Structure 1
Amino acid sequence: MSTVRISTPRLFFRAVSGKLKSLRSGLTEPLRPMRLRAGRPGAFHVMTPGYHYGDKKIGQDILSGQFNYSGQSVDVGSQGDPWTVNMPSVSYAAWLHSFTWMNDLLSVGPKAKGKVEEKAAAIRLRGLVDNWITHYGQWNNFNWDTAILTPRLWYWMVHWSPVLSSDNASAKAATRRAIVMRQMKYLRQHYKPLPSSFLKLQAAATLTLFGARLTEKSDGYLARGLDWLDDEIEKQILPDGGHISRNPETTLNCLDVLLTLDLLLADRGVEGSRTLSRAIDRMVPMVAFFCHGDGALACFQGGGPNDANRISTILQAAPGEAKPFAYGHHTKYQRLAAGQTILILDGGTTPPVGYDTEAHLAPLALEISTDLGRLLVNCGWNESQALGWRRPIRSSAAHSTLTLDSSSPGQLLPKNWMSKYWGEAVLKEAGPVKAQHKEQEAGIWVESTHSGYVPSTGLAHRRRLFMSTDGMDIRGEDSLYVPLGHSPLSREERPFDIRFHFHPDVRVSLSQDQSSALIVHKGQAGWRFRTDGGPLTLEDSVYLGEGHKPVKCQQLVISGRALSDNDGEGRTNRVRWSFRRLENRH
């Protein structure tokens, strides 16, 4: 009799590890410190960021007084103050008070109208910071939450020179420094209870950078911050350079923070740790590994595409060569690249407890891109989307993979008291998963399996992939089988669907015999999809990787009914399919 693995240990570990409070999702309510004397530090050291990126259009909107986020907007005019108006939502308020838009505002000039417009952006930013200090500098229960305070302090410290320190001798500059000191002391007080996450890594980097900025006694901020940062790097950054959450976007965000800090420390003449520099060296090729043909990231495990310009800027500023490899030994992703075609496969399982609050239940999901951009996608995600979509897009049906019994191979915590304490965590993992990668003269082969459905159905899922050396021929085989050493749980048939979600730039036409389809990419390149399974249907889908609303797109679905006692070689339990690129029509 096969052993059924239950999920209780995941929750038991949470309880006994003492992490209950720190694993809560959303914004917590910080306790006001009993004593928090700010002091008035002297002028900070001048340290200039090694690179800069931002959306100039967003920056120009902010300069004119329009603060737009996630489809919501507040217009206060070019001289107005957004800090005293009603906010459209909690998420909007968190974005506004975190100051993550600073990069966008400061991207205005000098390429546009030269120094005049650049100076206007800096003056506008100083005014916004000073007005924020007037209203919230002493204390506020909402925007002093560490999830908002940490990025705010990070961006203030990164851009302190020359933007926020250009009038260092003035009373306003002295007040800014005092309020920064006050917030930093609060962050240091509340650092240790933070759960190990990107937020904690950013908090450690922020405290480190603050210590390097101080010209007077640092009170241990620099040394202690570096120690804390090294601890988080050891916990979070895997040996292959990926983040332990297996989220490509989180990997990029960590590289951005670590590289920015390292360059600022070098500008200050302070040597960072070997742990920091080695992590950067590992992460650069890992970020390149996750990039599609359009220069943006693959959408897996809660991450979105992000901005290609930001990614390119970070990789160009990093040391060494941003050369992707074929297989992430620790993140467990597979990359098949030939000609102008890139295929990325998720060959891993649910990340560890505490890093799974955004994890997807879709092992063996894949994405494909070409020289024209994204072809095959998962439903994707970006932080501008409505939070109501966050949970649905974590299911297997929202990915280009197989779904058995109309359910995902894993389970999220139900929406009840448990999720209030543990967050949107995973109750039952989607795995285990195994994968093998081979490169031969004919092309690239990957064979992968996962056992996420074995406890409930007795069947494992195997996905075999092949890509030709020119990247114009992609073949796949999906099968459902009873693993060795296991007995069938029943003899009934199990319905399954194999989904292929296409990017909104792709148009699909189904053939009359429902065994093939014509795929047109941006009206230029054509692909022919064929399968020996079926029926093959064309259905609607949505893509959330861009904008603040889901974009309608299409998906091909191969449906069938698998026998529960099969070895995966029969026609009922095995489906073969292929993508072949057609000659250009132009």
Structure 2
Amino acid sequence: MARDINADRVRLALFVTQSGWRRLRTCLMVHPWFPWRSTAVPVPSRLLFAPHDLRTGDPTRASEFYAGRFAFAGKVVLTDGASPFEMEPPSREWAEELMSFSWLRHMQAASTAIARANARALVSDWIAMRGHRLPVASSPEIMARRVINWLTQSPLLLQDADPSFHRRFIRSLTSQVRMLASIGADARDGRPRLMCALALSFASLCMADQTRLMKLAQKRLAEELERQVLADGGHASRNPGLLVEVLLDLLPLRQCFGARHMPPPPALLNAIDRMMPMLRFFRHVDGAFAHFNGMGPTPADWLATVLAYDDARGRPLSNAPYSGYHRLEAAGTVLIADTGAPPPMPLSHEAHAGCLSFEMSAGRNRIVVNCGMPATAREEWRAVARQTAAHSTATVEDTSSCRFVSGGALMRLCGTPILEGPAELHVDRGERGGADVLRASHDGYARRLGVIHQRSWRLSPDGSRLDGEDLFRVAHGEEFSADQPAAYAIRFHLHPSVKPTRASDGHSVILKLPDGDHWAFTAPECTVVIEESIMLAASSGPRRTEQLVISGQARTAPRVEWTFVRVKTLRA
């Protein structure tokens, strides 16, 4: 035990040191007096072409921007004739959206002379202010997103532009690409670092005269894709939503290589081929993604766009061992379970304490869900959404199976990674009586409370019955001691469209689905309570819902059996 604690302290100290060094280096690189230069990025003579933007735009937003109304991340700022870059940001998310220039796609969708002129004026303001040195704008990830958006929307900005703006735009773009070439490798691990490699790859293909940059960009991109895209196609952060976001950039990048009559790197093609099947793995029948490890509302339009490139439409995978997920499916009933350990500390900033949680749907009705993450105000909800109690699994002594960095100077320095979580997991999958059976256990509570949580699921061949069992046992020893804390609460968060009614026996709950079907949840010899919950990842924002809760003591009732079963109803 002491050896494990010392090892954790060493890992944390190393991670904090690396995080501090990356932040210091980034601050130095963007400081006006720092003499950074990248000889690998000469000023191009021209832009050769613009990448295709797969993200859809809303033309009505362009008129709002022209009127000085900038609505991002759930916040609205009225500029009253001033530049939006001079305004006090109402939130960091708002500032990140503004500084990334992803909103240019809405002006491109408008495709009017006024929208083009307004877009040029806003970009010109930002260049004049030396916006790339502003605190939020100098973040490597935001800089990378801005470079990609400027390249993608360059026809909008450069059509009918005067030579002076064209020169300033190219020089500013080159300056930012040089900075990314210098600091991109020091970006925070995971999505931010991959974004930097993607931005350099786009720039090397779209900007003329970039032979050296092309070699550097392809090398970095291959390294990040091979490291971050796992063998089963999941992302190393274990966030299903990143599959959609990354593919929205990888697919246009593959097209860019074709436009230059160059073969795409094998790492790029392999990553796309591995990730596409995982899109189907995480989808319920209604098209929504399961809410694990930072997943928010499913962007339906983006997902549909990506799926249009899927040439191998077939039955989803049943097992993603490298990502740590399993999928059971029978006759339209789908169960997706988290059976994996937390990602490595540098990749765990968005990861949740949801080990052995699951989601369940029947047809187009989602029944059991996790709370997920909202699309906006993520910082406000992050601490709540990451807790084990926000997932459809068991908590012991009202604690989470993971410990997070949760405040103070440490959080400001290195973010919110997971400090400690399940390390030893056992997963078995088989078949019994023609039904899929999945059993898994984790030691997330073993170090602090001496408890092992084990859960099993059995889905019937006709998809009408899901049998489950939660078992709590002593990590070291044969039985619980009299003074050992081992109170548990098993939660099943319901989708907001599910209406539960508690039966008179106290052990059962009838669940009415939107299409009129009924399911029953029952836990013999246990009291099932209906409590309030919240679904954070609803498409329209956080929504109230309800959850089924079974509470008990592991000393006296270490085994809890429960069942979801479809109830046959008479149709008129």
2:10 maps to which of 9, 12, 35? 12
What's 1:199 paired with?
Answer: 192
List aligned pairs for 1:59-78, cutoff 5 A.
61-62=64-65, 65-76=68-79
Would you say 1:128 and 2:126 are equivalent positions?
A: no
Q: Which moves more between the two structures, 248-257 or 35-44? A: 35-44
2:482 maps to which of 488, 491, 498? 491
Distance 1:515 1:426, change over 3 A: same
Distance in 2 between residues matched to 1:48 and 1:542, nearest whole Å: 40
Structure 1 position 335, deviation (Å): 0.9
What's 2:20 paired with?
Answer: 21
- State the AA in 2 paired with 1:530: T
- State the AA in 2 paired with 1:479: L
Distance in 1 between residues matched to 2:232 and 2:95, nearest whole Å: 36
1:96 maps to which of 95, 98, 103? 98
What's 2:439 paired with?
Answer: 447
- Does the CA contact (< 8 Å) of 1:240 and 1:330 recur in 2? yes
- Does the CA contact (< 8 Å) of 2:186 and 2:193 recur in 1? no
Distance in 1 between residues matched to 2:442 and 2:299, nearest whole Å: 32
Would you say 1:380 and 2:372 are equivalent positions?
A: yes
Would you say 1:534 and 2:526 are equivalent positions?
A: yes
Distance in 2 between residues matched to 1:9 and 1:429, nearest whole Å: 14
Q: Which moves more between the two structures, 462-471 or 428-437? A: 428-437
Q: Which moves more between the two structures, 163-172 or 312-321? A: 163-172
- State the AA in 2 paired with 1:132: W
Q: Which moves more between the two structures, 49-58 or 385-394? A: 49-58
Distance in 2 between residues matched to 1:322 and 1:42, nearest whole Å: 46
- State the AA in 2 paired with 1:188: A
What's 2:173 paired with?
Answer: 180
- State the AA in 1 paired with 2:205: A
What's 2:563 paired with?
Answer: 578
Unaligned runs of at least 5 residues, structure 2? none
Structure 1 position 98, deviation (Å): 1.2
Distance 1:369 1:59, change over 3 A: farther
Structure 1 position 418, deviation (Å): 2.9
Distance in 2 between residues matched to 1:309 and 1:440, nearest whole Å: 39
Q: Per the alignment, in what secondary structure is the counterpart of residue 345 of structure 2?
A: coil
Distance 1:22 1:440, change over 3 A: farther
- State the AA in 1 paired with 2:92: V
Structure 1 position 39, deviation (Å): 7.2
Structure 1 position 276, deviation (Å): 1.1
What's 1:286 paired with?
Answer: 278
Paired residues, what number?
Answer: 564
Distance 1:359 1:284, change over 3 A: same
What's 2:448 paired with?
Answer: 456
- Does the CA contact (< 8 Å) of 2:528 and 2:550 recur in 1? yes
Deviations 1:199-239 (A, max 9, x none): 11111111111111122x21611110010111111221111
TM-score (norm 1): 0.88
Would you say 1:552 and 2:551 are equivalent positions?
A: no
Q: Per the alignment, in what secondary structure is the counterpart of residue 481 of structure 2?
A: coil
RMSD: 2.9
Structure 1 position 123, deviation (Å): 4.8
Distance 1:48 1:143, change over 3 A: closer
What's 1:212 paired with?
Answer: 205
- Does the CA contact (< 8 Å) of 2:51 and 2:253 recur in 1? no
Structure 1 position 151, deviation (Å): 1.0
Q: Per the alignment, in what secondary structure is the counterpart of residue 91 of structure 1?
A: helix
Distance in 2 between residues matched to 1:554 and 1:373, nearest whole Å: 16
- State the AA in 2 paired with 1:21: G
Distance in 2 between residues matched to 1:24 and 1:128, nearest whole Å: 29
- Does the CA contact (< 8 Å) of 1:362 and 1:401 recur in 2? yes
List aligned pairs for 1:140-289, cutoff 5 A.
140-160=134-154, 162-167=155-160, 170-215=163-208, 217-218=209-210, 220-289=212-281
1:482 maps to which of 457, 474, 492? 474
Q: Per the alignment, in what secondary structure is the counterpart of residue 452 of structure 1?
A: strand
Structure 1 position 192, deviation (Å): 2.6
What's 1:543 paired with?
Answer: 535
Q: Which moves more between the two structures, 31-40 or 88-97? A: 31-40
- Does the CA contact (< 8 Å) of 1:157 and 1:206 recur in 2? no
Q: Which moves more between the two structures, 433-442 or 245-254? A: 433-442
- State the AA in 1 paired with 2:145: P
- State the AA in 2 paired with 1:194: A
- Does the CA contact (< 8 Å) of 1:298 and 1:304 recur in 2? no
What's 2:46 paired with?
Answer: 43
Q: Per the alignment, in what secondary structure is the counterpart of residue 235 of structure 2?
A: coil
Would you say 1:510 and 2:520 are equivalent positions?
A: no
Distance in 2 between residues matched to 1:548 and 1:469, nearest whole Å: 35
- Does the CA contact (< 8 Å) of 1:378 and 1:400 recur in 2? yes
Q: Per the alignment, in what secondary structure is the counterpart of residue 395 of structure 2?
A: strand
TM-score (norm 2): 0.90
Distance 1:249 1:7, change over 3 A: farther
Q: Per the alignment, in what secondary structure is the counterpart of residue 551 of structure 2?
A: strand
- State the AA in 2 paired with 1:150: A
Distance in 2 between residues matched to 1:495 and 1:339, nearest whole Å: 37
Structure 1 position 524, deviation (Å): 2.8
- Does the CA contact (< 8 Å) of 2:423 and 2:443 recur in 1? yes
Distance in 2 between residues matched to 1:212 and 1:104, nearest whole Å: 24
Deviations 1:430-450 (A, max 9, x none): 342222223566332111111
**Identical residues among aligned pairs (%):** 28
- Does the CA contact (< 8 Å) of 2:295 and 2:373 recur in 1? yes
Distance 1:583 1:99, change over 3 A: farther
What's 1:419 paired with?
Answer: 411
- Does the CA contact (< 8 Å) of 2:493 and 2:548 recur in 1? yes
Structure 1 position 62, deviation (Å): 4.5
Structure 1 position 374, deviation (Å): 2.6
Distance in 2 between residues matched to 1:23 and 1:137, nearest whole Å: 21
List aligned pairs for 1:353-392, cutoff 5 A.
353-392=345-384
Deviations 1:509-565 (A, max 9, x none): 1122211111122263321111114221111111110368532111110111111xx
Distance 1:84 1:468, change over 3 A: same
Structure 1 position 185, deviation (Å): 1.2
1:303 maps to which of 283, 295, 298? 295
- Does the CA contact (< 8 Å) of 1:480 and 1:574 recur in 2? yes
- State the AA in 2 paired with 1:577: W
Distance 1:463 1:138, change over 3 A: closer
Deviations 1:277-324 (A, max 9, x none): 101100111122112223232111122133122112112125544652
Distance 1:481 1:371, change over 3 A: same
- State the AA in 1 paired with 2:151: M
Distance in 1 between residues matched to 2:6 and 2:101, nearest whole Å: 40
Structure 1 position 339, deviation (Å): 2.1
- State the AA in 1 paired with 2:139: D
Structure 1 position 498, deviation (Å): 0.6
Q: Which moves more between the two structures, 541-550 or 190-199? A: 541-550
- Does the CA contact (< 8 Å) of 1:63 and 1:105 recur in 2? no
